[in-house]
Amino acid sequence: MPLTLMDAQLFVKLNVYGSVLTIMACYITAQVMGHVDSWLPMISDCFVYPPESYVSRFGVVSFINYGVLMSNVLIVRCSDLSVSAQRVLYALSCVTGISFGLVGSISEGDNLTVHNMFALSGFMTYGIFLALIHFQAKRRVPLMICLYNALSVLQIWCAVSDSYVSAKPLAEWLLSALFAYNILNLSGRLKNKSIQLQSSYDSVLIQSMLIRDDSTMC
């Protein structure tokens, strides 16, 4: 039986706002506690020491891992795409969400190599996701998404070489801002749609089913 309905676009926005608040709370705490040595550190530098590490592990996994993963799945579900394109985008959504979840779970202090690998894979796969979902719909890739992918390439280049190291923090903050902007932009595809949660017997099964205002499945 149905448990509740929630506005799908609001669900996406809440997860984006939760992601931004998590990062800003960690940044402010790290600055106040003196845990970073720059006014513009790498975002992950703000996840290393407590108490900000407690906030990051909860917020990143809750909002950026699960929340963003579900948001992208909902966006793909309500986009006019072929079945094969949907499958590819679902896979990219999963890789992006899992990668950022591991970024929150494994800090630089735990394992820098693994942390950086998942951070870069998360940014890169989301860039591919953005390019594909826009190209499938409009046969073109917007300038903002080209910029996002250019910054992703710059981050990868900085990670494998000693070039442009001073640009890494700024590129990461810009990437994160564009990440949030693009999800909010794509959430417009969920206008007038809701998520219905259902229960089955004694266990609760969360089934993401989108319905229109007239109760017609999308």
- Residues 16-33 have pLDDT tens digits of 999 999 999 999 999 999
* 213 pLDDT more than 60: no
Q: What's the mean pLDDT in 97-101?
A: 90
- Mean of pLDDT values over 70-97: 91
Say whether 203 sits in a helix, a strand or coil.
strand
Please state, in angstroms and rounded to a whole number, the distance separating the CA atoms of residues 65 and 102: 8
Is residue 173's pLDDT more than 50?
A: yes
Residue 99 — very low, low, confident or very high, per pLDDT cuts 50/70/90? Answer: very high
Query: Is the model more confident about 45 or about 202?
Result: 45
pLDDT at residue number 217: 44
Sequence-distant (6+) residues with CB within 8 A of 85 are 132, 136
- Domain residue spans in the chain? 7-191
For residue 8, pLDDT beyond 80? yes
Name the residue type at position 89.
L
pLDDT surpassing 70 at residue 163: no
Backbone angles phi, psi at 216, to 5 degrees: -90, 130
Q: Beta partners for 204?
A: 199
Average pLDDT over residues 185-190: 91
Task: Name the maximum alpha-carbon separation found in the chain.
Answer: 58
Q: Mean pLDDT score of the chain, rounded to an integer?
A: 83
* pLDDT-derived band at 3, boundaries 50, 70, 90: low
Tell whether the model's pLDDT for residue 211 goes beyond 50.
no
CA distances from 100 to 5, 80, 150, 205 (A): 28, 27, 19, 24
Residue partners of 89: CB distance under 8 A and separation at least 6: 72, 76, 81, 129, 132, 133
Q: Which two tokens stand for residue 181?
A: 């902007």
Residues 95-99: what's their mean pLDDT? 92
Instruction: Decide: 100 and 47 in contact? Cβ < 8 Å.
Output: no
